Structure 1
């Protein structure tokens, strides 16, 4: 354990990750809110598909020496638009994602193989980097977060209705298809943000796990959102604080905390169901 953890200079190191902690806090909030709709709309597989093209976009930007965040956003938006436009039905959507995932991952691996810079930059795109959030990246993240949260706030009620009962919503004149396309774009932005912290491979821990855990202990939408945000913040910020005193990348800590929360919620949910029965 001494080879993994070393909190000797923890106080000094804490000052170096000020931006990362702010980014983690914001990302936990955005991920927690978005994850509720991801679970309601059965889109975890789509999240993974978007993350692969986001990884390809970030890798391409790294190779070209341009803004990695912009490349990640471009890849995510391209994937989100393609999935939203071509995958109206769940079966079609899964087929499109199944095609995009290996293509995006392969393209990203190709770009990283051609990149001759620091290996830490390559590894960070896959597993995240704790000290990689500088002031310009934080500004990008805050601006993107504002777009996602404001967008969700605007479409919240009709999107909730369309996610819970799309057939009835469509019959009552709710623009279900348009809402789906808008949400896919917002989801793409959220995925691109998450990759900056936990990397492309483990983004599901932020975009899916918080709401999956919250839904185990309550069915009330407002409580699901609040708990999901809480779980997301605890997972990301807690992962950053643990990784700061460790030689292990941040992503294992984020995913482990998120998984532990899910297991606890699942246990509590099972006991509540057994008590009611």
Structure 2
């Protein structure tokens, strides 16, 4: 099919290019495994991000994760370790200083510009390859190597074990913190622990899709799942499924292109959310129409 007038066919070849796709696919087994780990972690952690209303916190932590990675790049040390240190520092600050929502948002609003400015400063001073700078912001999973895989696997294991240990009390504390505290659940301690776990999850996602677009894995899949169900069992399952579809689909679409992975992952995540929002709205409308005749019958009996 001929391209539209004024369109540059080279642009589409850069975005979607499946030449030699079979050969390239054989080279990205580590990347697909890394994407699966990040999708699993992002989907599970994102469940509590939505339940506890923490999307803004995710963004704040990602900025410090970016600053830590950029500082590590400038210093010539492990970038993944720098990203994790930055994330944990931000998570600890938010968890310790932001007990109430208003205080938490104020802390995040202070951390975000500081982290972004520090990261930009470090990248401006870095004289190495420009691709390394760009990768911190937009992700570079196609080029994941064995040392990075070791970091990703180890950090993913820590996050998953921690979530498994605190899942039930954290769910209770997230759903009704006042009642949970009255029944002896350590709500404040759980909040701090979860913020640190969230910091590790953010650091993982930053390595894959970059600091600027980390919300696509830690917020969007869980938000999409929440449009379909409020079940404490089904919500995390759907969140993980949506995160894996966005992550693995983004890798496969980006494989043969000259574009970073981030636009593919974020677009897929957005389309999933849009579909879930439409489905949820239609289901709510049907439920409303079904309930109306029942209310009329009840009123007639009275």
Return the TM-score normalized by structure 1: 0.99
| Structure 1 unpaired stretches of 5+ | none
The RMSD of aligned alpha carbons is: 0.8
Q: Equivalent residues in 2 for 1:137-216 (5 A)?
A: 137-216=148-227
Q: Distance in 2 between matches of 1:24 and 1:57?
A: 22
Query: Does the C-alpha gap of structure 1 residues 3 and 203 become closer, same or farther in structure 2, counting only changes over 3 Å?
Result: closer
Q: Equivalent residues in 2 for 1:1-277 (5 A)?
A: 1-277=12-288
Q: CA deviation at 1:186?
A: 0.2
Three-state SS of the structure 2 residue aligned to 1:265 is: helix
Tell me if the contact between 2:142 and 2:251 (Cα under 8 Å) persists in the aligned partners. no
Q: CA deviation at 1:210?
A: 0.7
Q: Distance in 2 between matches of 1:3 and 1:187?
A: 34
Q: Distance in 1 between matches of 2:191 and 2:16?
A: 44
Three-state SS of the structure 2 residue aligned to 1:116 is: coil
Deviates more, 1:125-134 or 1:211-220: 125-134
Q: CA deviation at 1:132?
A: 2.8
List per-residue Cα deviations over 1:16-56 (Å, max 9, x = no partner). 22211100011101100000000000000000000000000
Q: CA deviation at 1:267?
A: 0.5
Three-state SS of the structure 2 residue aligned to 1:98 is: helix
Return the TM-score normalized by structure 2: 0.91
Three-state SS of the structure 2 residue aligned to 1:242 is: helix
Q: Distance in 1 between matches of 2:26 and 2:136?
A: 23
Tell me if the contact between 2:43 and 2:221 (Cα under 8 Å) persists in the aligned partners. yes
Instruction: Indicate the structure (1 or 2) with the bigger Cα radius of gyration.
Output: 2
Matched residue count: 277
